[in-house]
Amino acid sequence: MRVALGSDEEHDVVAALAERLVALGHEVVRVARHEQWPEVGQLVGAMVAAGEAERGITCCFTGTGVSIAANKIPGIRCALCVDAETARGARRWNDANVLALSLRLCSHALAGEILDAFFSTEPDADTAEAVARLEHKGAPSR
């Protein structure tokens, strides 16, 4: 699988993520190495939305900024995950296609656990219907 990986700073956790992805057999495309968090999230999201990468990973200090930025791209479902179960749920119930991580919170071990959960979980059968409702413009009717 081709994975877009972006971070707003060089960090040992980002390097470890890239190494782990390669070890798992994925092709890693490093993007936005010297950009700020808005560009990181948007560039990774744009690559996934355009089909240039099947999934993406975005990183910044809290993970919040890159997540918000990525989610501005149509078709992107970026989830900020701080543990493996959240990453598993983001894939299972939301078909998240971009993972956001906090460089402040993630150790190498935790980042690896989150990565493994995100890449080994497939969406549930009924998730596609729920995700399709996201394409509806405007608030849901009551």
Active site members: 60
| Closest to 82 measured CA to CA, from 56, 114, 55 | 114
> What does the DSSP assignment read for 31-81?
E-TTS-HHHHHHHHHHHHHTTS-SEEEEEESSSHHHHHHHTTSTT--EEE-
**φ, ψ (nearest 5 deg) of residue 57:** -135, 130
